[in-house]
Structure 1
Amino acid sequence: MRFILALAAAGLFAGASLAQDANLPPPELNTQAVPGVMARAVDDVIRPGYHAFEDASGRLANDMGVLCAEPFPKNVDAARHAFAATVEAWSKIEIVRVGPVLEDNRFERILFYPDRKSTGLKQVQAALVKKDETATDMQTLKDKSVAMQGLGALEFILYGTGSEDLTGERDSYRCRYGMAVAENLKWLSGELVRAWDDPNGIQKAWKTPGPDNPLFRDEREAVGELLGVLVHAAESVRDQRLETFYKGEGARAFPKQAIYRRSGLTFTSIEDNLKGIGLLLKRSDMAELLDPEVRSIVSSIEFLLKSVERKAGELDRDVKSDVELSVKDNEARAKLDYILLNAKDLILRLNDQYGGAIGLSAGFSFSDGD
């Protein structure tokens, strides 16, 4: 039963493939549609996504400040709720791993993951033990290791060993360190908002490909960047969100390496990653770049995305966000297998099938090919 949705989606694509192969001329990129697609990607997805992340991290910084001043259980709950909202907002927009987020190590400063050798965790724990005051000021924190200043660090502060100290003394070290992290996230999100909102900055480069453009000399390069965002996002779901802790039936599982396992946001973040892919595909109207005869390719991709999203959501509910339980329970493992299988299928559909249908198959390779 778990493969029915995948087979149904494959059937949708089969029709598209037949249409494409029915003695049609080689596909060519619809260059006239590219500026509109790129503009919608910027204005309807990327900029709103960073604004949502800035809003969420702003509320998080505020709630951490309240918690430090009034260390009561209800304020711990409020701070944790704000943390979850920030993770959800970030997970939708983190798929955009290009542009300003890669400058000044912003991406790693927001989220240092995977941390296979627990380097970041050890640094955060050391700061908490030593009570390093330079970690409690955003201005000095931002110059420290990237692993000490983002979502991973704050998750440990709010949920990790010793988090009961948050309801102890007022303005405790642990809370002040957490507040500095939250303020740092707010600042970083604001930098991303300002970079993408600048009409003469990166949004102009995305919207107007051409020979004088510093990023995209033509429409082909612009669409290559956009499609690359989707492909690499799908790869990240498979490689970094799932295979970091679960590689499939028969392979040893490492649930303690799962992202956001302490806060119970592992499967929520995966679901939001997939939602981010779907939003970029749909709201930018990437189907417009295809010949009408093969636009069902996009429908099949959207169908597959929705089915994988649902499985991630079911996992979140079924195992109560318990990653360790998810790798032990037979039904939960079947859903993990489903996501793994179809995440790989998603990569192929985006990279080979959609890319080929818009004429980017020759000379373009977005996928890692695994």
Structure 2
Amino acid sequence: MRRDLALAFCLCLATPAVADVAETVTDHILPGYARFSDSAAALGAAAQADCRPAALRGPWNAAFDGWMGVSHLRLGPVEEQGRALAIAYWPDPKATGARQLVGVLAAADPALLEPGAMAEASVALRGLFGLERVLYGPDYAEGSYACGLARALAGDLANTAGAVAAGWGTPGGGGYADALLAAGAAGNASFLDAREARQALFTQLITGLDFIADQRLGRPLGSFDRPQPARAETLLSGRPLRNVALSLAALREMAQTLAPEAAATQAALGRAITLAEKLPDPTLAGVADPSGWLKVEILQQAVHAARDTAVAEIGAALGVGLGFNAADGD
């Protein structure tokens, strides 16, 4: 018995202190969704005032920044009614969204511009990427169909972002936040105990890092012999590397709330962020050159290293392993 107690005590000393679920919900998830919802609402309002590309690119970038703060969270209200895909349909390997936009502009159907109609359209047409194609394509005049389409897309995005934030609610308000905060409570079918809640959040952290390494960096990297710079995220707007840096920063914040003394994880994430911020290749087009490819691969390796460090350090601190994430099926 004394040996077991001593071993447990040593393990406690070796394991980072855990802030756990409540801090992650109140200090990371809820503020992140509030910022995204606010920025999407601001974009929707800006589109109503002036729907030309020059007026909307700034608000659109602010909304995309907001999404980078929560894009790794694939549980709860964002997974209901296909909202995550309606916000950001990417990767889109068959260019479905681009083809649909061409068809929509050619048809110029006024019914699609009616209030609420965009919510029934294909997710490939909608969201941040639908707006990127409109705002960074050919310029158009006030009063044109493309201008009205920008308004409809921005309004739809604002509604979707607002619905996600409302679905999370506030602590004690009966939303999805309470399902995590009251894990194990009677009647809570989402999380049967506190460990399930910890595992769900830990899975968001790790799969978020996987997505950065495998998709945001892996897709343009391709292979050394066949790089694929045209497959980078948000290439039209020139922000592929910005997405990497912002999403890494959001995941570092999440890791801090889950395990505030996980020093090795924070250091590994900090190294990856520094590499991203110092890489002089905002569109990741440099992967077409061997030296540029190697620089992006070094960043990818740093993200993989941060992921592995978090699995070992934070997983042990929380007493959990990886679970299923909705992004696993993408």
Q: What is the TM-score when the length of structure 1 is the normalising length?
A: 0.78
Which residue in 1 is equivalent to 2:63?
86
Separation in structure 2 between the aligned mates of residue 255 and residue 203 of structure 1, nearest angstrom: 39
Contact 1:232 1:366 survives alignment (8 Å): no
Choose the corresponding residue for 2:174, options 178, 194, 200: 200
| Counterpart pick for 2:145 among 167, 170, 173 | 173
Decide which moves more: 96-105 or 343-352.
343-352
Unpaired segments ≥5 residues, structure 1? 1-22, 288-294
1:61 aligns to 2:25 (yes or no)? no
Q: Which residue of 1 aligns with 2:183?
A: 209
Tell me how far apart the structure 2 counterparts of residues 330 and 24 of structure 1 sit (CA, whole Å). Answer: 50
Tell me the CA shift for residue 251 of structure 1. 3.9
Q: Which residue of 2 aligns with 1:188?
A: 160
**Counterpart code for 1:38:** V
Residue from 107, 111, 122 that aligns with 1:130? 107
| Runs (5+) with no aligned partner, structure 2 | 1-5
Aligned to 2:32: 49
Correspondence for 1:272 among 214, 221, 246: 246
Listed one character per residue, the Cα deviations across residues 268-298 of structure 1 (whole Å, up to 9, x for unaligned) are 111111111011111x2524xxxxxxx4xx1
Question: Amino acid of the residue matched to residue 314 of structure 2?
Answer: Y
Q: TM-score, normalised by structure 2?
A: 0.87
The Cα offsets for residues 96-120 of structure 1, whole Å up to 9 and x where unpaired, read as 1111100000000000010001111
The Cα shift of 1:84 comes to: 0.8
Q: Distance in 2 between matches of 1:219 and 1:59?
A: 37
How many angstroms apart in 2 are the aligned matches of 1:341 and 1:135?
Answer: 44
Q: Distance in 2 between matches of 1:40 and 1:242?
A: 30
Deviation string for 1:206-244 (max 9, x for gaps)? 112215222222221111011011011001101221112
CA distance in 2 between counterparts of 1:211 and 1:47 reads 21
Q: 2:121 aligns with which of 138, 144, 150?
A: 144
**Residue in structure 1 matched with residue 131 of structure 2 by the alignment:** 154
- 2:220 match: secondary structure: coil
Residues 304/134 of structure 1: CA separation in 2 closer, same or farther (3 Å cut): farther
Alpha-carbon spacing, 1:314–1:277, altered in 2? closer, same or farther (3 Å): same
Aligned to 1:119, which of 92, 96, 111?
A: 96
Q: How does 1:296-335 map to 2 (within 5 A)?
A: 298-315=262-279, 318-319=280-281, 321-324=282-285, 326-329=286-289, 332-335=292-295
Q: CA deviation at 1:200?
A: 1.3
Q: How many residues of Structure 1 are paired with residues of Structure 2 in the alignment?
A: 313
Which residue is equivalent to 1:343?
303
Alignment root-mean-square deviation, CA: 2.3
- Identity rate, percent: 27
State the alpha-carbon separation in 2 of the partners of residues 190 and 211 from structure 1.
Answer: 28
User: Residue 288 of structure 2 aligns to a residue in which SS?
Assistant: coil
- Aligned residues of 1:134 and 1:141 also touching (Cα < 8 A): no
Q: Distance in 1 between matches of 2:108 and 2:243?
A: 31
